[in-house]
């Protein structure tokens, strides 16, 4: 019996004998989330735009979102989430040897928000960098951290998703400004075998080993136009661009909607079935929270029960890279996710980008 099976006595039970053998490099040891205090209800928009609480709830499932007040950087928003995730993992900040920070609203152009967060946590020495994959950012960051652990470059990686879209949306565009919220979430990914392990472990027949079982990432750069925030070296801010609001987020909502539903269903099915599992074996689907209707349509396409598709978009709106780790942290806190839950993460976002991860909590 290897060290992993010894730590998972339930793996010997008959119930899970149908699970395939999987190879695991890392597992999530703890999660945390943080959102700003300030609640923005739908009535805020109805007070100055041609929209209504009813339209927003009906078309998106969103009732309220949180926005920062004044100037707050992504690393500041992320710090409480990171500290909670580290504490839940039973670690101290100085034991973290890598920070992978998913965001498209970083503190500065450079240095990275990962380095700012490192400074805030009072640690140094491990690696730290940002990942830009828009709403798929957290999944990209998690898969990157898993690969860093597999390569032996790190043993305890803080994976963060934090975004502050209230600073990049056009507050006068009803098609987009109602959709987004600010927030941060984090997990700590540790080498699967624990501190003494080499960082790689293969499970036996029980299949109850906790950790990342499979993942996939993808992108299609032909879709850069359908969702973008054109501010950067190819579109520097000018007096004219500022006057015409040209540098704010733009989206072809209907197109994004259709692509998101199709891709989320495809990647879930693929990451689960190509690795020998069935959709029925998955306990929870934790997908990027953009719109309730997208999540419902994804669930319908996959033929899975509604209660398996976790949601909190109603309270936070679309928090981009933060949405999945916020949902994970809430589900862990509420006891929905328990040791051994089989979870499928999936995201779709600007780029266009997508990604999925199958893991055992
Ligand atoms: C944005 C979104 C909610 C719009 O919903 P929709 O049902 O597709 O609505 P449409 O874009 O077809 O617009 C229908 C009408 O509602 C209007 N409308 C758009 N936003 C509105 C709002 N906040 N209030 C009232 N009316 C609104 C549109 O102007 C349009 O009016 P028109 O027919 O007179 O032109 C939806 O497309 C969506 O969620 N897309 C994906 C967004 C997303 O998830 N992005 C991030 C992905 S990572």
Q: Where does the pLDDT of residue 250 fall: very low under 50, low under 70, confident under 90, or very high at 90 and above? A: very high
The closest of 360, 28, 12, 345 to 213, measured between CA atoms, is 360
Q: Where does the pLDDT of residue 202 fall: very low under 50, low under 70, confident under 90, or very high at 90 and above? A: very low
* Least reliable range by pLDDT among 116-120, 205-209, 245-249, 337-341: 205-209
- Determine the average pLDDT of the residues in 186-196: 79
Residue 219 has pLDDT above 90, yes or no: yes
**Secondary structure class of 328 (helix, strand, coil):** helix
- Determine the average pLDDT of the residues in 290-298: 98
The pLDDT of residue 204 is 40
Q: Whose CA is nearest to atom 15 of ligand 1?
A: 175
- Determine the average pLDDT of the residues in 238-261: 94
**319 CA → ligand 1 middle, Å:** 17
The pLDDT of residue 316 is 98
Mutate to test the pocket of ligand 1, among 175, 219, 224, 258 (most ligand atoms within 8 A of CB): 175
C-alpha distances (whole Å) from 280 to each of 208, 210, 235, 344, 357 are: 16, 18, 47, 11, 16
The pLDDT of residue 23 is 80
State pLDDT tens for residues 23-34: 899 999 999 999
Q: What percent of the chain has pLDDT over 90?
A: 86
Euclidean distance between CA atoms 95 and 80, whole angstroms: 17
CB 211 within 8 A of CB 199: no
Question: How much is the mean pLDDT over the chain?
Answer: 91
State pLDDT tens for residues 26-81: 999 999 999 999 999 999 999 999 999 999 999 999 999 999 999 999 999 999 99
Residue 228 has pLDDT above 90, yes or no: yes
Q: What percent of the chain has pLDDT over 70?
A: 90
The pLDDT of residue 207 is 47
- Structural domains of the chain ordered from first start: 26-191 (3.40.47.10), 209-360 (3.40.47.10)
The pLDDT of residue 290 is 98
The pLDDT of residue 18 is 58
Atom of ligand 1 nearest to the CA of 347: 48
The pLDDT of residue 231 is 94
pTM for this entry: 0.92
State pLDDT tens for residues 130-141: 999 999 999 999
* Least reliable range by pLDDT among 181-190, 218-227, 232-241: 232-241
Residue 1 has pLDDT above 70, yes or no: no
Q: Where does the pLDDT of residue 337 fall: very low under 50, low under 70, confident under 90, or very high at 90 and above? A: very high
Q: Which candidate in 8, 42, 135, 247 is catalytic?
A: 135
Residue 102 has pLDDT above 50, yes or no: yes
Q: Whose CA is nearest to atom 10 of ligand 1?
A: 254
State yes or no: is 44 an active-site residue: no
Q: What are phi and psi of 92, to 5 degrees?
A: -115, 150
Neighbours of 125 (CB within 10 A): 9
Long-range contacts at 79-82 (CB < 8 A, ≥ 24 apart):
79/34, 79/117, 79/120, 79/121, 80/32, 80/34, 80/184, 81/32, 81/33, 81/34, 81/160, 81/162, 81/184, 81/185, 81/186, 81/325, 81/329, 82/32, 82/117, 82/121, 82/158, 82/160, 82/184, 82/186
The pLDDT of residue 209 is 86
State pLDDT tens for residues 348-360: 999 999 999 999 9
CB 338 within 8 A of CB 361: yes
- Determine the average pLDDT of the residues in 239-268: 95
Q: Whose CA is nearest to atom 43 of ligand 1?
A: 290
Q: Is the CB of 344 under 6 A from ligand 1?
A: no
């Amino acid at each position: 019996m290897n060290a992993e099976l010894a730590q998972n006595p339930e793996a010997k039970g008959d119930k899970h004998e149908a699970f395939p053998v999987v190879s695991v490099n890392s597992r999530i040891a703890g999660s945390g989330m943080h959102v700003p205090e300030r609640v923005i209800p739908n009535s805020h928009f109805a007070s100055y735009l041609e929209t209504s609480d009813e339209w927003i709830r009906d078309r998106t499932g969103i009732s309220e979102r949180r926005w920062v007040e004044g100037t707050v950087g992504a690393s500041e928003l992320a710090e409480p989430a990171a500290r909670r995730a580290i504490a839940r993992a039973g670690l101290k900040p100085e034991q973290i040897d890598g920070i992978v920070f998913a965001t498209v609203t970083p503190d500065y152009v450079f240095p990275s928000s990962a380095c700012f967060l490192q400074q805030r946590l009072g640690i140094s020495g491990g690696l730290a960098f940002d990942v830009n994959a828009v709403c798929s950012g957290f999944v990209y960051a998690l898969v990157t951290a898993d690969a860093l652990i597999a390569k032996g470059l790190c043993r305890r990686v803080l994976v963060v998703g934090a975004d502050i879209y209230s600073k990049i949306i056009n507050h006068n565009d009803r098609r987009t400004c109602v959709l987004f919220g600010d927030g941060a979430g984090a997990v700590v990914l540790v080498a699967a075998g624990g501190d003494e392990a080499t960082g790689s472990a293969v499970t036996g027949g029980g299949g109850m080993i906790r950790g990342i079982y499979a993942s996939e990432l993808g992108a299609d750069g032909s879709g850069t136009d359908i969702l973008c925030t054109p501010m950067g070296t190819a579109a520097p801010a000018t007096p004219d661009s500022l006057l015409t609001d040209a540098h704010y987020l733009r989206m072809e909502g209907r197109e994004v909607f259709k692509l998101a539903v199709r891709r989320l269903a495809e990647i879930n099915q693929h990451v689960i079935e190509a690795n020998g599992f069935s959709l029925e074996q998955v306990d929870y689907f934790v997908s990027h929270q953009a719109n309730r209707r997208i999540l419902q349509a994804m669930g319908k396409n996959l033929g899975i029960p509604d209660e398996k598709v976790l949601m909190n978009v109603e309270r936070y709106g679309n928090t981009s890279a933060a949405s999945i780790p916020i949902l994970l942290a809430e589900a862990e806190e509420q006891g929905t996710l328990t040791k051994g839950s089989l979870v499928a993460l999936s995201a779709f976002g600007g780029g266009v980008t997508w990604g999925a991860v199958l893991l055992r909590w």
